[in-house]
Amino acid sequence: MSKGNLTYWRGSSFYINPTSQCVNDCLFCVRQFGEGVFGFNLVLKEDPSPEELVEAIENDWVPKFDDVAIVGFGEPLINLDAVLAAIKKLKQLTDVPIRLNTDGQARLLYPSRNVARELADAGLDRIQISLNAQDPDTYLRLCRPKFGRVAFESILEFAEQCKPLLRVELSAVNIPGVDIEACRGIAERLGVGFRVRVFKGPEGALEGILRTLTS
């Protein structure tokens, strides 16, 4: 099915990898610099079915894990049904709160589904939405979304939709060209949390990103 790992871990943190596909091509993403993290290969030949992802969780879960995240090497919600199955399985295995990291474009991926409600009903506790820019133009240049300019506003709409149902946190990577304080202000206006992420690419990569953003 897949040559990559569907689950991976570091210390007491356990991660789920539902897909290595993404609707963005972010300049700063770890996908630009390798095929995985923590020594795991996260590039999948094809997305797992819900049953396959649940089986991987059952095989790899151990009680020492006290941090659980659905993150993966792509946009997890591309494989939404498998994500929902994974959340339900994890809720059977542990009472550790479950978080999901997403680029926040679920309303564009699934215009006829209420993804926020489905995630909450499955048992998700927290969602971290990657804002990554202070305005649509910066987002377009930095994240290169498949859906184009409408992606930025859709992210904010999805955050609003999630807010009554889940603990919501916007995040941004601290790199040149991104106004972190402006991003924090967006989160404050929406009434959600905010987290600054650290750039994890190789030395010298930031110079190329800055050239792209300012060209």
pLDDT, one tens digit per residue, over 10-49 is: 999 999 999 999 999 998 887 777 777 888 889 999 999 9
Other C-beta atoms within 10 Å of 99: how many?
18
> Would you state the pLDDT for residue 39?
85
Which token pair is 156? 């904010």
The structural domains of the chain, ordered by start, are 7-214 (3.20.20.70)
* Count of alpha carbons within 13 angstroms of residue 142, beta-carbon side: 26
Query: For residue 207, which phi and psi values (nearest 5 degrees)?
Result: -65, -40
Query: pTM value?
Result: 0.91
